[in-house]
Chains A and B, each alone.
Chain A
Amino acid sequence: MALFEVEHLKKYFPTARGMVHAVDDVTFSIEEGTTMGLVGESGCGKSTLGRTMIHLLDSTEGVIRFRGEDVTHPDKKKLRRLREDMQIIFQDPYSSLNPRMTIQDTIMEPLKLSGRFAKEVLEEECVKLMDLAGIEKRFRDSYPHELDGGRRQRVGIARAIALMPKFVVCDEPVSALDVSIQAQILNLLMDLQEEYKLTYVFITHDLSVVRHISTHICVMYLGQMVETCPTQELFDHPMHPYTKALLSAIPSTDIHNKSQRIQLKGEITSPINPRPGCRFAQRCPYATEECSRPLALQEVRPGHFVSCCHVQEINQ
């Protein structure tokens, strides 16, 4: 059974200029111990989706299931219990930590609030967590501003895993970090996953990173899910025209094998009161009138879902 499922999940935000369709009809399931990578460009709704999944935002429509149980509208008590099992690691380790709390207090806070630990063991637990996240003990009484970005992100991770959650949303956890620090954090996240059988949703715009860390990928464009399948399958057989363009745009360090780029024209359009049908159609080289019809996800190969009405012709 899947650990986490979303069905036809929608999240709309009312604004003065109209309804923002931030997440529009997303359906997928995540098995325990795997990583679902959510990719797409800025404004495609990947962070909103991640936040809606763990109830930091209320969904507009759709169903969220955790361990088979419908948790779309939990009451306060249940939500509190769910939060122990569902955590989030934020993008910016500079603004997501309380500047007036020491590292120890930051990590101990969830332990205290859970009421699961006796006062005497709190510090001991905190040291254990710091050790797990690779933070040297000498930083216990430091404040966030005394730490570099990599260490701050480790604090964010230690705090997120403090109560040993089952499910962690990682929202661009390495985007603000330098490459060598980024690699250290990715390795830490993978080690923790192996050790504690964590299930991740990994949100990023960096396709090389997502390929490295995810078992499955869901590609989003302007709130819509355009393609989802196992990672290897996506990179071997991308089928949606947007996925193809996205993959071809990644600058590779392979200097002898310069593959042809698919150049997309124009830019992402507005998610406010969008036109019906496929939102990528305006930039899509294959678009026809048919593309304004409502989208449907098709299983084109086993486990490989694409929402494009021309998927067959394009991939012949």
Chain B
Amino acid sequence: MVSNTDKKGYLSVQDLVVEYRSGGETVQAVNHISFELPGGRSLGLVGETGAGKTTTAKSIMRILPDHATQKVEGVIEYDGTDILKISEAEMQKVRGGKISMIFQDPMTALNPVKTVGEQIAEGLKVHQGLDKVKARAKAIEMLNTVGISEDRVDEYPHQFSGGMKQRVVIAIALACNPELIIADEPTTALDVTIQAQVLELIKKLQAERGTSMILITHDLGVVAQICDDVAIVYAGEIVEKGTLEEIYDHPMHPYTEGLFGAIPELSKDVDRLSPVPGLPPDPTSLPEGCYFAPRCPYATDACREKHFDLEKVSGSHYVRCIKKEQEG
């Protein structure tokens, strides 16, 4: 890991708490999430639907829905500035300029009544002050970068296939040469051969430009392809984090074990999968003690009473589980 003194492109999220108001109840979407991402590295945020991955990303972008958001606390420091504290005008310069987001669903992320060229050029005009002609030229260049021929610059999103639309979304996100990309399930809506093309593209652009990345996904296979670090998210908190090798070679949290047990792996033959039984807890009434205890095969009374902190196991590997503490 890079030392803390190297602040260029350094993202640090400390103790992030996000609560929503929904149907008269408080949804505890993110519960004290902390992680650090040095410039140039890529972090995979892995978890199931409702784990708080996208909410974390939207907090960093400051695009949480105002009407429903009840509480956003903590520190999100980027390049040494707490971006939760800056004004909306300043945030607009960060958003799309320094940090940009690739959204999950390319079918809905694009504006259907604007050409793809206009949509790529928009950010360039706002952030880099390019005039119409220059912005268009840069938009064409971006299309080439993502492998779309330039004669399609004046076409509308509906004229593109799913994979092509996702490339356009990527082109928009990369147009202003951001230092950090947050990719929210960028390939989930795509077929495998197209997914492979898009992942290669992201990897290549990241290597060429030294961009850091947060990849949000539920697919441990995709993480293995492009991430350096991994954080496993469950019920709004990180239950395990470390480098790719630390997590994949020595998964320690029972939930992480469960995630690996639930995927049929091509190189292994198993008669039956061993998924985690049950369902994630209701975020409007999280259990006392460990949030995972109700589904955990190793849970003891101690787990149901006390909520544990992330503890260091080795190197940069952290786990939130009493069992591992005792074993260690």
Contact B265 A254 (CB under 8 A): yes
Mask: chain B, 242-256; 1 = CB below 8 Å from A; 0 = not: 001100110000000
Contact B218 A253 (CB under 8 A): no
Set B163, B222, B261, B274: member contacting A251, Cβ < 8 A: B222
Binds A, one of B66-74, B85-93, B122-130, B186-194: B186-194
The CA of A248 and the CA of B65, in the complex, are separated in Å by: 40
Contact A267 B218 (CB under 8 A): no
Answer whether A252 and B191 are a contact pair too, CB < 8 Å, given A184-B277, A187-B275: no
B207 to A: closest C-beta gap in Å: 15
Contact A207 B218 (CB under 8 A): no
Answer whether A186 and B266 are a contact pair too, CB < 8 Å, given A249-B196, A252-B224: no
Set A235, A255, A264: member contacting B193, Cβ < 8 A: A264
Contact A184 B275 (CB under 8 A): yes
Tell me whether B305 is interfacial, beta carbon within 8 Å: no
A-B contact count (CB 8 A): 113
The CA of A258 and the CA of B244, in the complex, are separated in Å by: 14
Set A205, A248, A253: member contacting B224, Cβ < 8 A: A253
The CA of A289 and the CA of B240, in the complex, are separated in Å by: 55
Contact B273 A187 (CB under 8 A): yes
The CA of A248 and the CA of B266, in the complex, are separated in Å by: 11
A48 to B: closest C-beta gap in Å: 17
Tell me whether A257 is interfacial, beta carbon within 8 Å: yes
Contact A251 B194 (CB under 8 A): no
Binds B, one of A99-107, A116-124, A208-216, A301-309: A208-216
Contact B273 A253 (CB under 8 A): no
Contact A251 B219 (CB under 8 A): yes
Query: Contacts of A253 on B, CB cut-off 8 Å?
Result: 220-221, 224, 248, 260, 263, 265
Set A179, A184, A190, A249: member contacting B218, Cβ < 8 A: A179
How many residues of chain A have a CB within 8 Å of chain B? 39
Contact A255 B192 (CB under 8 A): no
Query: Contacts of A261 on B, CB cut-off 8 Å?
Result: 196, 200
B88 to A: closest C-beta gap in Å: 35
B188 to A: closest C-beta gap in Å: 10
The CA of A252 and the CA of B245, in the complex, are separated in Å by: 14
Query: Contacts of B224 on A, CB cut-off 8 Å?
Result: 251-255
Contact A263 B196 (CB under 8 A): yes
Contact B191 A205 (CB under 8 A): yes
Mask: chain B, 117-153; 1 = CB below 8 Å from A; 0 = not: 0000000000000000000000000000000000000
Set A41, A148, A179, A207: member contacting B266, Cβ < 8 A: A207
Query: Contacts of B270 on A, CB cut-off 8 Å?
Result: 212
The CA of A190 and the CA of B270, in the complex, are separated in Å by: 12
Contact B259 A179 (CB under 8 A): yes
Query: Contacts of A69 on B, CB cut-off 8 Å?
Result: none
Mask: chain B, 265-290; 1 = CB below 8 Å from A; 0 = not: 11100101111110100000000000
Contact B259 A263 (CB under 8 A): no
Contact B264 A209 (CB under 8 A): yes
Mask: chain B, 144-188; 1 = CB below 8 Å from A; 0 = not: 000000000000000001111000000000000000000000000
Contact B193 A178 (CB under 8 A): no
Answer whether A178 and B272 are a contact pair too, CB < 8 Å, given A250-B221, A255-B245, A263-B197: no
Contact A42 B221 (CB under 8 A): no
Q: For chain A residues 19-59, which have a beta carbon within 8 Å of chain B? A: 41-42
The CA of A186 and the CA of B248, in the complex, are separated in Å by: 24
Can you list 18 residue pairs at the A/B interface with Cβ under 8 Å? A41-B194, A179-B48, A179-B218, A180-B262, A181-B279, A183-B263, A184-B277, A190-B272, A207-B266, A208-B264, A213-B264, A250-B192, A250-B221, A251-B221, A252-B221, A253-B248, A263-B200, A267-B163
What are the 5 A-B residue pairs with the smallest beta carbon separation, nearest first?
A: A251-B221, A183-B275, A212-B264, A41-B191, A183-B262
